[in-house]
A = this chain, B = another copy of it.
Amino acid sequence: METVTTIRAFQIARRTLKGSVGFVPTMGYLHEGHLSLARLAHTSCDAVVASIFVNPTQFAPTEDLAAYPRNLERDLALLESEGVELVLAPTSNEEFYPADYNTWVDVLGITQRLEGASRPTHFRGVATIVAKLFNVVQPQRAFFGQKDAQQALVIRRLVRDLNFPIELVLGPTIRESDGLAMSSRNAYLTPQQRAAAPVLRRCLDHVEALYDQGERHAETLRSEMTKILQAEPLALPDYVSVADLEAMEELEMVTDKALVSLAVRVGKTRLIDNTILPRGQGLF
């Protein structure tokens, strides 16, 4: 595995990769979710490239950029053990955002709701860094996790609208044994908060069960999630949503595929999770 810290060095190393390239962009502090994407990439690509970059432009000034967990040495060992061929891990933000940086990519519509409503500049930062990484890495396929479902839909729109010649592949959400979706931010949780965090998955389990029993009123599904969250004193709901998969608008009735998602603060940590109805359907 070759690790480079500059775009220039990456471009030179990239030319040595033969055949199709799969790309797994990450913000580091890797967990089984990231590693499962690297494995998935190896099933369809000749070489796998990963990036490790805590992208500052997708954090608001009030958010956790400085505190975001980092462990580059461990991350590189994990990627090497997965057989990743090449890693771009810039050591400075200036590598992607020089002092006079001034170009932004905005996916409108879908970014105004849910995560975009709670974090108004978040998806501009995501779309911009993903466009930049796609131009640097030039992969045939790029791999993202379903845990960040709205992000995946935004990037699908970005790829389609800007005509990136890249196939997007989604990997399933990987969970701890008690159902908590894996996330680098889980590292923030105290033991007591960690014990409360599976409440997100319990909400989704309950919605899936109600749907299987025939419930199709989206407001009922939303209010059932809210009830479960209200019973957990450590959980402060940000949103609960049952939305369509194109514009991410709240549904009245679940007649077609729907994205059930929620964001919850547990202490200072904001956790998200989601599922697709009908159960077992893919996001794309």
Q: Which residues of A contact B (CB under 8 A)?
A: 7, 11, 100-110, 127-128, 131-132, 135-136, 138, 157-158, 161-165, 246
Say whether B106 contacts A103, CB under 8 Å. Answer: yes
User: A165 touches which one: B11, B158, B165, B246 (CB < 8 A)?
Assistant: B11
Distance in angstroms between the alpha carbons of A7 and B108 in the assembled complex: 23
Q: Which residue of B lies closest to A137 (CB)?
A: B163
Tell me which residues across on chain B come within 8 A of A131, comparing CB atoms.
Answer: 131, 162
Distance in angstroms between the alpha carbons of A103 and B138 in the assembled complex: 20
User: A103 touches which one: B7, B101, B158, B246 (CB < 8 A)?
Assistant: B158
Distance in angstroms between the alpha carbons of A101 and B11 in the assembled complex: 31
Closest 3 CB pairs of A and B: A103-B161, A135-B163, A102-B108
Say whether B102 contacts A110, CB under 8 Å. Answer: yes
Distance in angstroms between the alpha carbons of A105 and B135 in the assembled complex: 14
Q: Which residue of B lies closest to A111 (CB)?
A: B102
Say whether B162 contacts A135, CB under 8 Å. Answer: yes
Q: Which residue of B lies closest to A97 (CB)?
A: B161
Distance in angstroms between the alpha carbons of A127 and B102 in the assembled complex: 12
Tell me which residues across on chain B come within 8 A of A108, comparing CB atoms.
Answer: 102-104
**Further contacts, 11 of them, CB under 8 A, given A106-B106, A135-B164:** A11-B165, A100-B246, A102-B109, A102-B161, A103-B105, A103-B107, A103-B158, A131-B131, A132-B161, A132-B162, A135-B163
A84, chain B: closest CB distance, angstroms = 21
In the complex with contacts A103-B158, A104-B105, A105-B105, A7-B163 CB distance below 8 A: yes
Question: Interface centre among A131, A136, A157, by most B CB within 10 Å?
Answer: A131
Q: Which residue of B lies closest to A127 (CB)?
A: B103
Residue contacts A-B, CB under 8 angstroms, 5 given: A11-B165, A102-B157, A104-B108, A135-B162, A135-B163
Distance in angstroms between the alpha carbons of A101 and B107 in the assembled complex: 9
Tell me which residues across on chain B come within 8 A of A161, comparing CB atoms.
Answer: 101-103, 132
A120, chain B: closest CB distance, angstroms = 16
Distance in angstroms between the alpha carbons of A158 and B106 in the assembled complex: 14
